[in-house]
Amino acid sequence: MKDKIFAGLLLLSILLQGCDNQTTQASTAGNDTERKIDALLKQMTLEEKVGQMNQISFSGENGKVRELVCKGEVGSILNITDPDMINSLQQVAMEESRLKIPLIIGRDVIHGFKTIFPIPLGQAASFDPQLIEDGARIAAIEAASTGINWTFAPMIDIARDPRWGRIAESLGEDPYLTSVLGAAMIKGFQTDELDGPTAIAACPKHFVGYGAAEAGKDYNSTFIPERLLRNVYLPSFEAAVKAGAATFMTSFNDNNGVPSSGNKFILDQVLRKEWAFDGFVVSDWTSIAEMISHGFCKDGKEAAEKAVNAGVDMDMVSELYVKHLKELLQEGKVKQSTIDDAVRSILRIKFRLGLFDNPYISTDAKEVIYAEEHLQKAKEAAIESAILLKNEANILPLGDHIKTIAVIGPMADAPHDQLGTWIFDGDKNHTVTPLKALQQQYGDKIRILYTQGTAYSRDMETNGIPAAVSIARSADIVLAFVGEESILSGEAHSLSNLNLQGVQSELIEAVAKTGTPVVTIVMAGRPLTIGRDAEHSKAVLFNFHPGTMGGPAIADLLFGKAVPGGKLPVTFPKTVGQIPLYYAHNNTGRPYQGGETLLNDIPSEAGQTSLGNTSFHLDAGVEPLYPFGYGLSYTTFEYSNLRLSNTQMTASDVLNVSVDITNTGNYDATEIAQLYVQDCFASVTRPVKELKRFDHIPLKAGEKKTTTFTLPIAELAFYNIDMKKIVEPGDFNLWVGPNSQEGLKASFVVN
């Protein structure tokens, strides 16, 4: 039966192709797919069409799922990972259902499938698109080997609030960095050939604004005006469309009163009309039904109507399309063409994935899962993702004089927690923890003493601290592994307090009092307010949950086999009260000047005054704990001789910016140089700085290199007072440096 239909479709497409021998090969293939889709659509009943728009979650083998697939009433299943079960359901779709339309199998493969890479926020700290592409490639290879052909990633929400648990899953606070890295991740998942055996469809999410949840509370409302939406929250999604993303997912939040799953402006106007996206849009989990709780729809029927008319093609598990689309069509509230367009987009991706031709799993999972090269890449990623925040007197890397180390803290040997959030398929039995790695690599040369001090990150029990103090006394150095359990970040896990949980700070303080130097190694899902802990530590190495190979990566970093080079993809606040705190803020009319009177400088009974005062917190100033882009190395770098190819530019010119960077220390290392631009005066106020380029510069000790950034002036365009994306003429400042606060400065003019 299946063969007959395909033979028929093939014949039809050959006949049609014969009429049009002028087209290029690529567009012929595209036209061919469109013809196949049209042919299928003509044969489909309304139930079968709505079936394609219905995604269900697999809840174990039962006759009901097979029956739905057989009747063509389900187009996609998520959360099924047993290859035999996937093949068997696919077989029902391909051999028993009337039209033989394959299922698309979705799963959250977020930072690795089995081999777990650092959480996305950690990967972002590498500022390394190739590394991120490689990580996604490996995740796709492993996931595809079990029959998954669609991942709900990358998450490219701009995340400027570390209280929000899902910041862990983001690529940080910056639109440019997120755009570049998100596109790299899409390329890694999809490759250039979506129908390749190991390619899986990407699903950039959550469209849009989800990261701006008020108070960092997950699912909360957002209020992002259109200009900010276009300048900050949309660019990473536009870059995802340009990178060829096959699908999109809507977000849970309502923005300015409109939930994303019912937002025609973003789904139809922006995504389809302005960006010409031709893949399909899936809702987030029950987000169509949740429009009732939002108070945007009175019942499931209205929710289905608003979602489909806004442009949500597939309903993730609400089952409201299945329940209501037929009636809505009969009542004229939904047009047939709307349903056809949705089905067309879904079938298009199924064709592009090659699922009609190769619906079954073709790789043997045993060969690729936890393959040695995957583990090595995961280790490399964990190394590149680590950020050295402090290194007083170059205490790191640890030298030969270290004979005894005291390993303490709840994260030293926490195989589950170092994997981070969203690791449905990860297995802690494959994790190598820092304790294990240190014992394996250095156990025969160095005395390693170990006690947790506190059992898990939230543990309030202090009676383990004396044992930690005792081993600290006998050691040359303390390695304190602290941070967050994985469950403290991720979806629905927001926090209002970002200090180290439990008694971890007390533990660090107690061991520091022994006089033995403390190196604090943090593993967490978000930026933490660790100022107090950093003060008690000689060095701080921050790792966003580093994944399966975090242990060996950290061991190599501590002992200098690898040199840290990661940079913060997000600002670290000193206190929660400073949030939102991000580097690319606008200036007020009274910008902070430095040297302002802080809380403790104010005399008692001081008279009311506002004149001359600037925008800052009396108790925190304006400075973050660590700025965006910040990260130290074991070596030092010097920037010099910044020069521009021209200082008088037009919007069509390309600016070349050159700078010399010298490795002035003793280690071969890589510097991530960053270029920021400020549009000084415009029709609307502009950020004080925006990242526009970054580059990795490997330098041997003592070596000096010139690096040149190429910046088309057109990339300085923004949505202006008339909501037009243009480069406005005027003065610009430019910085090249090691982070968002330091750097050499130059200026240019756009005429």
Token pair, residue 401, equals 């004089």
Q: How far is the CB of 285 from ligand BGC (least distance, A)?
A: 4
Q: How far is the CB of 746 from ligand BGC (least distance, A)?
A: 42
The nearer residue to ligand BGC, 285 or 583, going by C-beta atoms, is 285
Q: Answer yes or no whether residue 205 interacts with ligand BGC by CB under 6 A.
A: yes
Decide if 670 contacts 386 (C-beta within 8 A).
Answer: no
Say if residue 589 is exposed, middle or buried (CB neighbours under 10 Å; 0-12, 13-18, 19+).
Answer: exposed
The nearer residue to ligand BGC, 52 or 247, going by C-beta atoms, is 247
Nearest to 516 by CA among 435, 433, 395, 400: 395
Residue holding tokens 């490399």?
380
Binding mask 233-272 for ligand BGC (x = CB under 6 A): ----------------------------------------
Q: Answer yes or no whether residue 34 interacts with ligand BGC by CB under 6 A.
A: no
Q: How far is the CB of 491 from ligand BGC (least distance, A)?
A: 5
Among 150, 237, 248, 285, binds ligand BGC (CB under 6 A): 285
By CB under 6 A, the count of residues binding ligand BGC is 6
Q: Answer yes or no whether residue 108 interacts with ligand BGC by CB under 6 A.
A: yes
Binding positions for ligand BGC, 444-503, rule CB under 6 A: 491
Q: How far is the CB of 57 from ligand BGC (least distance, A)?
A: 8
Q: How far is the CB of 65 from ligand BGC (least distance, A)?
A: 17
Q: Answer yes or no whether residue 556 interacts with ligand BGC by CB under 6 A.
A: no
Q: How far is the CB of 284 from ligand BGC (least distance, A)?
A: 5
Q: CA separation (Å) from 198 to 93, 143, 152, 184, 377?
A: 21, 8, 16, 16, 18
Ramachandran category for residue 605: left, alpha or beta (phi over 0 → left; psi -120 to 50 → alpha): left
Cα separation, 59 vs 36, whole angstroms: 32
Q: How far is the CB of 190 from ligand BGC (least distance, A)?
A: 17
Among 58, 117, 150, 152, binds ligand BGC (CB under 6 A): 152
Nearest to 96 by CA among 123, 68, 118: 68
Is residue 161 annotated as a catalytic residue, yes or no?
Answer: no
> CB nearest ligand BGC: which residue?
152
Q: Answer yes or no whether residue 384 interacts with ligand BGC by CB under 6 A.
A: no
Helices and strands in the chain, H and E counts: 22, 25
Residue holding tokens 């270290």?
402
Cα separation, 334 vs 88, whole angstroms: 35
β-pairing, 690-699 vs 648-649, is unpaired
Q: Quick count: other Cβ atoms within 10 Å of Cβ 604?
A: 4
The 8 Å CB, 24+ separation contacts for 89-95 are 89/65, 90/147, 90/359, 90/360, 91/360, 92/66, 93/69, 93/359, 94/2, 94/359, 95/1, 95/2
Nearest to 564 by CA among 549, 553, 576: 553
User: Rounded to 5 degrees, what angle do the CA atoms 109, 172, 737 make?
Assistant: 135
The nearer residue to ligand BGC, 250 or 739, going by C-beta atoms, is 250
Among 284, 417, 556, 690, binds ligand BGC (CB under 6 A): 284
Catalytic residue (one of 254, 284, 425, 459): 284
Binding positions for ligand BGC, 689-708, rule CB under 6 A: none
Instruction: Enumerate the active-site residues.
Output: 284
Q: Which residues bind ligand BGC (CB under 6 A)?
A: 108, 152, 205, 284-285, 491
